Amino acid sequence: METVIDLKDITKTYVMGMEDLTVLKGVSLTINRNEYVAIMGPSGSGKSTLMNIIGCLDTPTSGEYILSGQNVSDMDDQELAEVRNKEIGFVFQTFNLLARIDALHNVELPLVYSGMNKSDRIEKAENALINVGLEDRMTHKPNELSGGQRQRVAIARALVNNPAIILADEPTGNLDTKTGEEIMILFETLHAKGNTIILVTHEEDIAKHAHRIIKIRDGEIESDMPNANKIKKTEVTA
Amino acid sequence: MNFFLEIKESFAIALRAITANKLRSVLAALGIIIGITAVTIMQTAIEGINRAFNKSIEAVGADVLYVQKFEWFGKEDWNVYKNRKDITLANFNFIQRNIQSSSAMCPSVGSQRSLKYGDLDLENVFVIGSTDEYQATIGVNMSEGRFMTRRESDGGYPVVMIGADIKKAFFENVNPIGKIIKIGNYSFRVIGVVEKQGSLLGMSFDNRVIIPIDLFFKLFGTKRSLSINIKAADMHNLDETKEEVASLMRKTRKIPYGGRDDFGINQQEAFKSTYESLTGLIKVIGTMITMLALIVGSIGIANIMFVTVKERTKEIGIRKAIGAKRRTILMQFLIESVTICLLGGVIGLLISLPISLIINAFVLPTAIPLWIVALAIFISAFFGVLSGFFPAFQASKMDPVDALRYE
């Protein structure tokens, strides 16, 4: 199995006035290609900090992080931006689409930042939108789309650069149950197509879609287990 | 991401941001608009004054040297000038015999006289005595009739060429050619009218008449200093001609080696430098006022850009999360501020256009010089960078995690 994420003894300490606040206390973790992992934990557990480090939005205070064979733990801003662009597809709770541009241009944006030429960009962005079932919504702006559609646009944007991992932070948090289920089915499909998915959530219902569940508490991994009934189901269907 | 693509994308983003906040963008650009309008109108006015000046200075002739007793706009103490000898016909003849680098020359003298035609009177008309060579030397054109001939000049015939003002005063709707006018108590036959030449620093070139110099001496006395007018053979070698004339003058006036010139060699340039020092001052004051407007405008833009960056913190976070580098974000906001300023510049130019047309129609003939358009665009872009840099730098430095969390 090919390792995509390799975290070794990651710590993160924030300086809060006179005191140091250690949010992550030595987290070690490996995630392989085509895994579907949920990271769970209550608020204040260090779950968000861990997600930011995995997403290369933040750097660890100590420890080593290898992403797709590159040591990202001591990269500078410039290199991290490049890694985020090429290796990571973000899906956020609040969708985080740019309001002034239509769906197609939102999806195209990561390709703009990777310097792809216009015709290739449009083609790839269109394909990504077709993959999430939005072929007839390409020229709609975010405020002309429903919540579920917006999240699909965000997923298309995350997919468009063929990233090593898709990092989804509470992707159903702003959606009703039914739409949330649809989005989870979409993740299921993406996983089946070979994508590596990391889901960050505090909801059991959502986490149960993943094949492996990592629980964080007080800055440490509390448990890291396969999702028994998912594995069984897969075996049954296989 | 390559640089060109970056600029193109940033420009598209800037245009969307500006159209989303039209009123705010225009208000932000107000200082720049006023500054650009001010600089354009000022330059257009100066252009008009320049044109008027250049048109009138043509009458003096760019390639003509005027050897006279005194320098125009002489800056030295009166003591230097007071004992100078008159410029004589002997001086003229000596130069004419010996000069190499001149294509035409003539002597001239002048005096204020009153003119009479029938019951009409004109006071203080400048009467010039010269030769037939005057036309070729100074380069005057005739609007009617002709200039005097050599025979008329040498023979001292009572003929006169009148300036445009004289024609207007005496012969409004009459053909002046062949009419007899009186200069002082002497009668002259009008043989030509000199084309209108305008005025320079308040003195008119059209309130003049020209008569043969020999006759001038005979009627008005010989005890006067001449002007020796010399047209350079080659306009580009004017300085050489000037040197030759100076050395010939020194020889004919027997100035010892090391002695100071007791004559002045005048040329158009003297008017130009005096004029330029005058308009130079206007330019300096105008530029300072304009700069003030532009700096105030620049502060306005910087202020609005800080607000924009703050407002769009989330957007910056999103862009950074999906791979925008610091430089890309910096460029995006820098180009946005440059675009606002350029917009201000263009609006300023558009406001200037009708104003310049009004000036052209009612004050003096002028047009917005093309270089000022280029300069206005450049100034706008410059102030765009100046006022946008710190806000853009602040945006580029934002931490993506904090920016994404910003609501």
Distance of CA B339 to the CA centre of its chain: 33
Question: Which of B20, B319, B325 faces A100 most closely, judged by CB atoms?
Answer: B20
Residue A90: its H or E element: strand A88-91
> Does the CB of A100 have a partner CB in chain B at under 8 Å?
yes
In chain A, residues with a C-beta closer than 8 Å to the C-beta of B3 are: none
Query: In terms of domains, do B190 and B239 share one?
Result: yes
Query: In terms of domains, do B247 and B143 share one?
Result: yes
Q: Which residue has the tokens 């608009």?
A: B33
Number of alpha carbons in the 13 Å side-chain half-sphere of residue B30: 8
CA distance A80 to A86: 10
Cβ-Cβ contacts under 8 Å for B33 (sequence gap 6 or more): B26, B297, B344, B345, B347, B348, B351
Mean pLDDT, 10 residues at a time, over chain B (407 residues)? 78 87 88 91 87 76 88 78 86 93 92 91 92 90 93 92 93 92 92 85 83 92 89 87 92 89 86 82 86 90 93 94 93 92 94 92 85 92 94 95 89
Disruptive mutation site among A48, A77, A105 for chain B (greatest number of B CBs within 10 Å) = A77
A91 vs B274, residue with greater confidence: A91
CA angle, residues A115, A119, A124, in degrees to nearest 5: 80
CA distance A197 to A204: 17
Average pLDDT along chain A: 91
Say if residues B110 and B209 touch (Cβ distance below 8 Å). Answer: no
Residue finishing a domain among B249, B266, B283: B266
User: DSSP letter string over B30-60?
Assistant: HHHHHHHHHHHHHHHHHHHHHHHHHHHHTTT
Predicted local confidence at residue B74, as pLDDT:
76
> Does the CB of B16 have a partner CB in chain A at under 8 Å?
yes
Predicted local confidence at residue A136, as pLDDT:
94
Query: In terms of domains, do B249 and B278 share one?
Result: no
Say if residues B105 and B228 touch (Cβ distance below 8 Å). Answer: yes
Query: In terms of domains, do B190 and B262 share one?
Result: yes
The reply to whether residue A113 touches residue B323, judged by beta carbons under 8 angstroms, is yes
Among candidates A16, A23, A5, which has minimal Cα distance to A73? A5
Q: Which tens digits make up the pLDDT trace of B258-268?
A: 888 889 999 88
* Position A237 pLDDT exceeds 50: no
Query: In terms of domains, do B181 and B278 share one?
Result: no
In chain A, residues with a C-beta closer than 8 Å to the C-beta of B400 are: 57-58
Predicted local confidence at residue B315, as pLDDT:
94
Say if residues B157 and B148 touch (Cβ distance below 8 Å). Answer: yes
Q: Which residue has the tokens 């739409």?
A: A179
Extended strands (E) in B201-283: 203-204, 208-212, 227-232, 264-266
Say if residues A56 and A45 touch (Cβ distance below 8 Å). Answer: no
Say if residues A97 and A142 touch (Cβ distance below 8 Å). Answer: yes
Residue finishing a domain among B218, B249, B266: B266
Q: Report strand pairing: A165-169 vs A88-91.
A: parallel
pTM recorded for the entire structure: 0.72
Can you state the angle between helices B370-397 and B268-311, rounded to 10 degrees? 30
Domain assignment of residue B221, given as a range: 64-266
Query: In terms of domains, do B208 and B69 share one?
Result: yes
How many independent structural domains does chain B possess? Answer: 2
> Does the CB of B281 have a partner CB in chain A at under 8 Å?
no
Q: Which tens digits make up the pLDDT trace of A129-149?
A: 999 999 999 999 999 999 999
Looking at CA atoms only, how far is residue A159 from chain B in angstroms? 11
Instruction: Convert A176-229 into a string of H (helix), E (strand) and C (coil).
Output: CHHHHHHHHHHHHHHHHCCCCEEEEECCHHHHCCCCEEEEEECCEEEEEEECHH
> Does the CB of A120 have a partner CB in chain B at under 8 Å?
no
Predicted local confidence at residue B84, as pLDDT:
86
* Position A234 pLDDT exceeds 60: no
Any idea of the CA torsion for A143, A144, A145, A147, to the nearest 10 degrees? 40
Question: Which of A78, A90, A161 faces B325 most closely, judged by CB atoms?
Answer: A78
Cα Rg of chain B, angstroms = 33
* Position A238 pLDDT exceeds 50: no
Which residue pairs from A112-119 have beta carbons closer than 8 angstroms and sit at least 24 positions apart in sequence?
A: A112/B1, A112/B5, A112/B9, A113/A81, A113/A85, A113/B1, A113/B319, A113/B322, A113/B323, A113/B324, A113/B325, A113/B328, A114/A85, A114/A86, A114/A161, A114/B1, A114/B323, A115/B1, A115/B2, A115/B5
Among candidates B18, B16, B20, which has minimal Cα distance to B305? B18
Predicted local confidence at residue B201, as pLDDT:
63
Residue finishing a domain among B250, B266, B282: B266
> Does the CB of B310 have a partner CB in chain A at under 8 Å?
no
| DSSP 8-state symbol, B235 | G
Query: In terms of domains, do B229 and B305 share one?
Result: no
> Does the CB of B17 have a partner CB in chain A at under 8 Å?
yes
CA angle, residues A67, A69, A70, in degrees to nearest 5: 65
Q: Which tens digits make up the pLDDT trace of A149-198?
A: 999 999 999 999 999 999 999 999 999 999 999 999 999 999 999 999 99
Residues in chain B: 407
Query: In terms of domains, do B70 and B174 share one?
Result: yes
CA distance B268 to B245: 16
> Does the CB of A59 have a partner CB in chain B at under 8 Å?
no
Q: Report strand pairing: B159-162 vs A36-40.
A: unpaired
Q: Which tens digits make up the pLDDT trace of A193-231?
A: 999 999 999 988 899 999 999 999 999 999 999 987 776
The reply to whether residue A98 touches residue B323, judged by beta carbons under 8 angstroms, is no
Q: Which tens digits make up the pLDDT trace of B32-82?
A: 999 999 989 988 888 888 888 877 777 777 889 999 988 887 777 777 777
> Does the CB of A90 have a partner CB in chain B at under 8 Å?
yes
Predicted local confidence at residue A143, as pLDDT:
95
CA distance B125 to B112: 5
CA distance B379 to B371: 12
Query: In terms of domains, do B34 and B131 share one?
Result: no
Query: In terms of domains, do B214 and B191 share one?
Result: yes
CA distance A135 to A153: 11
Which residue pairs from B350-354 have beta carbons closer than 8 angstroms and sit at least 24 positions apart in sequence?
A: B351/B33, B351/B37, B352/B36, B352/B37, B352/B40, B352/B41, B352/B44
A150 token code pair: 């917006």
> Does the CB of B397 have a partner CB in chain A at under 8 Å?
no
Distance of CA B368 to the CA centre of its chain: 14
* Banded pLDDT at A236 (limits 50, 70, 90): very low
Q: Where are the alpha helices (DSSP H) in B58-88?
A: 78-82
ipTM: 0.93
* Position A235 pLDDT exceeds 70: no
* φ/ψ (deg, to 5) at A224: -145, 100
Query: In terms of domains, do B251 and B102 share one?
Result: yes
Query: In terms of domains, do B120 and B256 share one?
Result: yes
Q: Is A193 exposed, middle or buried (0-12, 13-18, 19+ CB in 10 A)?
A: exposed
Say if residues B130 and B108 touch (Cβ distance below 8 Å). Answer: yes
The reply to whether residue A98 touches residue B315, judged by beta carbons under 8 angstroms, is yes
In chain A, residues with a C-beta closer than 8 Å to the C-beta of B322 are: 84-85, 90, 109-110, 113, 157
CA distance B156 to B142: 21
Q: For chain B, what percentages of helix, strand and coil (3-state, to nearest 5) are there?
A: 60, 15, 25
